[in-house]
Amino acid sequence: MIYGIPTYDLPLMGGVAFLSYLIGSIPFGLVLTALSGGGDIRKIGSGNIGATNVLRTGRKGLAAGTLALDGTKGAFAVFCAFVLCPFHTLAAESLAAIFAVAGHCFPVWLKFRGGKGVATGLGCILALMPGVGLCCCALWLIFAKVTRISSAGAIIAFAALPLLMIRPGRIDFNSPAYLAGVLIAVMILIRHHANITRLLKGTEPKIGQKST
């Protein structure tokens, strides 16, 4: 048994993981930009399919739509796990969160070259742990506004995520939700390795500014 899940339920968990990956891999930034006549977002700015790069097209509404849909797909994947697995709900939701973010970051449709997982990760965490998710959102918005660098806010928010998940007086490192949060944070920070390098060099573009 893994996290109290009997062997005969593991195929169901595998189905949850696969479904969540497919949901997470929907490239809304790419689709919305193409449908609006903006071309291939991968050939604009940083080449990323996320909302920050969509904003570089100059269309704030399109960027807001991408942000909302990327966040919603993360929350939706967790909701699907809740519906499909009524007996091992937390483990299933945690698994869904991990694979939804993995799907966004490494979508098979785009040769595993996806986004950086920030909006999808926030959507997953909000659905899985609402209070922690709100804290992450607040950190992201505050530091993005202060620095005018979206990646700085994202890096700080997800670097803080493992600490935010620790309950006062109780450290439950064995919880599947805690494991999901740590893995999501690691994935997103790895996806931001180039941003971290540019931040240290002082060359990271500000919000709305074109990448160099």
For residue 212, being part of any structural domain is answered with no
For residue 22, being part of any structural domain is answered with yes
Output the CA angle 138-105-27, nearest 5 degrees. 95
Give the range of the structural domain holding residue 120, as residue numbers without chain letter: 8-201
| Amino acid at residue number 90 | L
Tell me what the pLDDT averaged over the chain comes to: 89
Q: Measured between alpha carbons, how far is 81 from 153 in angstroms, rounded to an integer?
A: 29
Predicted local distance difference test score (pLDDT) of residue 87: 80
pLDDT-derived band at 141, boundaries 50, 70, 90: very high
Long-range Cβ contact pairs of 132-135 (< 8 A, separation 24 or more) = 132/161, 132/164, 132/165, 132/181, 135/160, 135/164
For residue 207, being part of any structural domain is answered with no
Q: Measured between alpha carbons, how far is 208 from 134 in angstroms, rounded to an integer?
A: 24
For residue 195, being part of any structural domain is answered with yes
pLDDT at residue 211 tops 80: no
Predicted local distance difference test score (pLDDT) of residue 46: 77
Predicted local distance difference test score (pLDDT) of residue 1: 45
- Number of separate domains in the chain: 1
Predicted local distance difference test score (pLDDT) of residue 5: 67
**pTM for the complete prediction?**
0.91
pLDDT at residue 7 tops 80: no
5 forms beta bridges with 2
Q: Measured between alpha carbons, how far is 86 from 120 in angstroms, rounded to an integer?
A: 23
For residue 128, being part of any structural domain is answered with yes
For residue 208, being part of any structural domain is answered with no
pLDDT per residue as tens digits for the range 36-63 = 887 888 888 778 888 888 888 778 889 9
Predicted local distance difference test score (pLDDT) of residue 124: 97
For residue 161, being part of any structural domain is answered with yes
For residue 158, being part of any structural domain is answered with yes
